[in-house]
Chains A and B, each alone.
Chain A
Amino acid sequence: MRQGAAVHGLGWLFWLAPAVLAAALLFGTAVGETRIPLATVFDVLATKTGFLDRAIDPIELSVIWHYRMSRAVVAACGGASLALSGLILQALLRNPLAEPYLLGISAGASTGAVAVTVAGFGAGLLSMSAGAFAGAITAFVLVALLARAAGGGTGMRGAAVIILAGIAGSQMFNALTALIIAQSASAEQARGIMFWLLGNLSGVRWPDIWLVLPMALVGLGITLWHVRALDAFAFGAESAAALGIDVRRTQVVLIGTATLVTAIMVSVAGAIGFVGLVVPHAMRILVGARHSRLVPATALAGAVFLVVSDVVSRIALPGQVLPIGVVTALVGAPAFAFIMVRGRQR
């Protein structure tokens, strides 16, 4: 399929995209739990970038710069990464229900998190995030091994085997999580875990950028590099092989990227759902199936979606912060239903 600079008919999108992203980031910085005047926000941005030097209340300065701005950037990177992961899995596994947590990642992350905080693994030296990451990778490795052992090759049957292995792995790790919680957690602990597992960006600070921004850029870069391969999978893996794609290598690189990126995101902010499932489908309706357009559009839409969801999670109930996974689900589930119905009418 066509690829390259001549993005016909959507050239204007190329210029609009950074503006949309900037607007989303501004929104995420300006709106939050407490009301801070927009003028202050601009003052902070101007001061931090060296244009001005205003005296600003230190608490408001820190809130805007250290809390909200960093959180908006991480939300954007995370949203883009999760959406791309979903896109990759949907394309390679030829299944519209595929999403980043299909391969056991969020289930493994939850087990890792409770193992560290509730069962006390790591004797207080491991943070919940580290435990979640380790759990996510472990679950994925086990799922991959299971899929390999069950065979199926690279074709449709292979895709089905991978999905089934993912389901089996997820169920097992979810059961482990329930076991650990039932045995040892106090009410408050279980509540803390649930809150985190539904996704929570409250703990994000600037140092997290060093992890999340490269992850997003590398993930986007790798996916863009493979747009032709992704297109070639339209008629299945065998067809892609017949078109000259190294199917095994493509699957390993792309699924590996999707997994790593998702595991990092889960360890930073918990399991935020629906972004990876719904955003790629929504973008397919808007910009079509060509991955040279779909990939950047999905990344942008994922970024904006998560930034906005985070803001909503903070302002929906006054004085309280909702888990962000609840917001994405409340938006994502009806959206997905709409997409499914619309798809059937064609």
Chain B
Amino acid sequence: MKEQTNILIIDDEEVVISSITKIATSEGYLVNSVLDAYSAFQKISSSKYDLIICDIMLSGMDGFQFLAELESKRIDTPVIMTTGYSTIENAVKSLYTGAIEFIPKPFTVDEMISVIRRGIKYSSLMKLKRTNDDSVILVPCPAKYFRLGYSAWMNKDHDGSVLIGATDSFIKTIDQIKKIELLNTNETLTQATPAVKFETEDGLIHQLYSVISGIVFARNERLLKEPELLEKDPYFNGWIYRIVPTELEYEMKLLIPCSSDRS
């Protein structure tokens, strides 16, 4: 018998709470919900949650303040941010300030399921890591790399182009990859918007956000034939796109240096 998984939803719209609740319960999770961030802290202090899904635009304390408050209270429950005001700025800011995922409203059922599944998996991975379980080894991304949230990385090459890919932790939060869908060369990527589609054995579709904006210069064609390359060598041979960045300097400021993971 598996241990019950608890999810806390913070949103000021009843219809959104009922929608997410419906989706999460259909997946067999236990769900609690509150209408504002203050009540969320009361809930967190009384019971344990594996995942929090939080709206950005809340009355009183907003989603970003909630994230900061969590960090200051050293509560490491993973948070998925969502908002109706789904701008790229909000997505990037959410991931930069500590959310593990960002999902814009309105989402489809499948999109929400994928995000929750990844969140729960991430949550359990972190738990195992804390208990120093040897069965899980997360390969950290190389020190000179930068990442967007926990899932995607970028590395500036000597010729000015930028390699981007998926982190080991992202690969480990999704099921066996069945199919990868890539953009064509010359297509435009925008930071924090979907860049890669992974179809996994469990029937879910996972979207990986682009780390920075740019134009696809080359894509790793090998991945289409050997998706397992991503699991074997996510940071080198498992690169996804080589892009010509368009706003590198500005966007790099919103990324987390992987060197900070090694402290």
Answer yes or no: do A and B interact: no
